[in-house]
Amino acid sequence: MPTFDRETKQLVNAARTLGNKGITVYLEDGELLRLCAVVANDLGKGELLAKVAKTEELSKGYYGTPLDWFLQSVDGSLDFQTVYLSLRDQIADFQTYFKCLCGLHKRRVKFGKILEVQAIPKIETIVPRCLLEYGMRPAESLASWMVWRKWLYDIDNRSAQETGYLFEPILTASIGGVSYGHKASPIKRHTDRSKGRQVDCVDGKTAYEFKMRVTIAASGQGRFQEELDFAKDCKESDYTPVLLVLDPTPSSRLEDLSAEYGKYGGRAYIGPDAWTHIEEKAGEVMGKFVERYVRVPLEQVDQNAGTLLPLSIIDNGSNISVQLGSQQFTIPRVRPELQIEEPDEASEGD
């Protein structure tokens, strides 16, 4: 029976595990086999894993497949290592595609757990805010309004955090580069050459900065100056700076940032140009991953944001029922709830 070499074993262990504190995720061999089946199906090789998934089971693709499906048992005769190595040998870029899909899947599993345990806030922590609306509506209504909106705010913050951790590894892997924390970074600060700076992706002598969007934020000139300095830091470290901004919404700061990259011999790719650049660098297989799992979902949701549907949220104790227009879904709730505070993952590459 074939076995993993050290490098493959490390890759698979990293692909199956997320977190070592707070909420953790560990994908068992059966889950990994089912993710292998998704990869094979995506790339037109579904027959290789007919024992794991029938074609109709994955007819709606990964996003249309319930998370519970991945927890179902698989044929006991299947050995994950054997299947993995076989797919690696038969499908170009299989390992990169598999690693990125595992990364996406782990974050979705983790966010499902966050929804289950994120504490509904105590009124004591937010009650001073009632003065802004007191008298405009009954105290009973105001209290519930304040608690619900704070819970949704907490959930949204966690969603933004998890999404931030998700995008960089996918884009870096698709380009074929490596990300660095500040300690190991080849990009040194021009103000102090003994200090490195975090870089999203290094591919050869090109250093990438990824951004979802660039807006006129309230974070202050100091923070923006830090972003401007990246291009000069790259140039003086003998790297070409490249800015990738996925959202094409114009802003004066986006113009200033793009100009700074051009000033130091780099380039900015904005909106469709950024997606095109990523897919060209990714090649045929990982280009399909970026298109299927990132670009298309973002565009479809964005296109449906013109009208806000009526919203109803009901706490039933064991679950929270959400009604959006004609669609309803239920969030199971786990007791006791947790006020989740997890370590910053931004320094993982250090």
Q: For residue 242, list its beta bridge partners.
A: 208, 267
Q: Of 218, 214, 246, 247, whose CA–CA distance to 228 is shortest?
A: 214
Q: Give pLDDT, residue 326.
A: 96
Residue 220 banded pLDDT, cuts 50, 70, 90: low
Residue 306 confidence (pLDDT) above 50: yes
- The string of pLDDT tens digits covering residues 16-68 is 999 878 899 999 999 999 999 999 999 999 999 999 998 899 999 999 999 99
* pTM reported for the whole predicted model: 0.91
Identify whether the C-beta of residue 251 lies closer than 8 Å to the C-beta of residue 267. no
- The string of pLDDT tens digits covering residues 244-281 is 999 999 999 999 999 999 999 999 999 999 999 999 99
Please count the helices (runs of H) and the strands (runs of E) in the chain. 9, 12
- The string of pLDDT tens digits covering residues 86-125 is 999 999 999 999 999 999 999 999 999 999 999 999 999 9
Q: For residue 202, list its beta bridge partners.
A: 178, 207
Range of lowest pLDDT (35-49, 130-144, 218-232, 237-251): 218-232
What are the residue boundaries of the structural domains of the chain, listed by start?
6-111, 118-172+306-332, 176-270
Q: Please, which residues have CB within 8 angstroms of residue 268's CB and are 6 or more apart in sequence?
A: 242, 243, 244, 245, 257, 258, 261, 262
Q: Give pLDDT, residue 55.
A: 85
Q: Of 283, 270, 272, 271, whose CA–CA distance to 242 is shortest?
A: 270
Residue 199, helix vs strand vs coil = strand
C-alpha 36/C-alpha 171 separation (Å) is 20
Q: Give pLDDT, residue 219.
A: 52
- For residues 201-208, average pLDDT: 98
Kindly give the interhelix angle for 94-117 and 6-16, rounded to the nearest 10 degrees: 30
Residue 337 banded pLDDT, cuts 50, 70, 90: confident
Q: Give whole-number Cα distances, 76 to 30, 45, 79, 254, 337, in Å.
A: 9, 21, 8, 54, 36
Q: Give pLDDT, residue 344.
A: 54
C-alpha 219/C-alpha 221 separation (Å) is 7
Amino acid symbol at 187: I
Residue 334 banded pLDDT, cuts 50, 70, 90: confident
